[in-house]
Copies of this chain bind each other. A is one copy, B any other.
């Protein structure tokens, strides 16, 4: 091995996602069992790299974690060491502290770094790569919205949770002739809404990629009534918005005596529909963080194990600066320089949307 790798570091950044622990486990086992690397984890994402907060990753410490959601390395959001908030003379200022991190790795004897994270986290990985760090990326986005890989782990688990919620809502909807709205994750991409909507027999799916007209939703509900179906199920991605409208962000009302956090598009839609649909009660459920946690699905455990193994193989092969990815059913890799910012949205004219329309699902357009 020309690269003389003896010790590698691992960190997880951004929101947690089912499968992170399975990646960490596969990285650790492959590194130790097959290459004899020592492995350490940086805790709290890049913050740990900056503060040199580490924990040993051994066969023992990664035992029994494969099916668990979350990350044993902890994570932090929005920590960018190239533009990091530090205190100087009691004042918070932004500084590039990446050299501190690099020096930490050098002192610790870490020869290569595996970074598991989303677009932001991987952007920093690329930037560390530019500065000579031997880095390998592992993509993580529960929304499955990364163009350079066909699937990311966590997505299948999230779709499963959302589908089960739709199964549950069906019985209440039918018993009470209600319109049930389920708001799922998907700020920019509607994959979770689309797949759970098809799987969970939704009648309407609203996604960021297709602006909706509320009157079309009302039409769909009325059409179902004429066919004797006195209830309807709507799945809405948090980033869905009406034609010409804005994304409804969850916000705080502070000008009321009792300031309170407001809901997003799901509750907004429930309110708006109430004035337009007769004879139905309307209820909205926001699925929220339940989509992220718990037991990782077998599909995601498999995929994240493959990613973790491949990331270490790439280190052994000296292919630094790359990110592992899935193309069709094959594990491959792509250079971080080429993948950053390359998001994958639902194609409004693609096969999946056509399939949904073919079985009668409305996109509110």
Contacts and interface: CB of A to CB of B under 8 A. Distances in A.
Interface of A: 15-16, 20, 25-26, 29-30, 33-34, 59, 64, 66-71, 74-77, 150-151, 156, 159-165, 167-172, 174-177, 180, 195-196, 198-201, 227, 248, 252-253, 256, 258-263, 267-268, 270-271, 283-290, 292-295, 297-299, 301-302, 305-306, 309-310, 312-313, 327-331, 351-352, 354-355, 358-360
Contacts of A263: 260-263, 267
A267 B260 contact: yes
A172 B355 contact: no
Nearest to A313: B358
B200 A298 contact: yes
A289 B285 contact: yes
21 contacts: A26-B358, A29-B358, A29-B359, A30-B358, A59-B227, A67-B199, A69-B168, A69-B171, A75-B175, A159-B299, A161-B168, A162-B298, A164-B294, A168-B290, A199-B301, A258-B268, A259-B271, A260-B263, A262-B263, A286-B288, A306-B352
A261 B270 CA distance: 8
A284 B271 contact: no
Contacts of A290: 165, 168-169, 285, 287
A327 B330 CA distance: 12
A198 B305 CA distance: 8
A358 B74 CA distance: 25
A352 B354 CA distance: 32
Given A261-B263, A329-B150, A198 B167 contact: no
A159 to B, nearest CB: 5
Given A70-B175, A263-B261, A358-B34, A351 B306 contact: yes
A140 to B, nearest CB: 12
A288 B173 CA distance: 13
A261 to B, nearest CB: 5
A263 B161 CA distance: 22
A294 to B, nearest CB: 4
Q: Top 9 nearest A-B pairs by Cβ distance?
A: A328-B328, A70-B171, A69-B171, A168-B293, A168-B294, A70-B175, A199-B298, A171-B293, A163-B298
Contacts of A196: 298
Contacts of A355: 26, 305-306, 309-310
A74 B67 CA distance: 22
A28 to B, nearest CB: 9
B29 A294 contact: no
A198 to B, nearest CB: 6
Contacts of A256: 253
Given A66-B201, A293-B172, A297-B160, A271 B285 contact: no
Contacts of A66: 199, 201
Contacts of A195: 298, 302
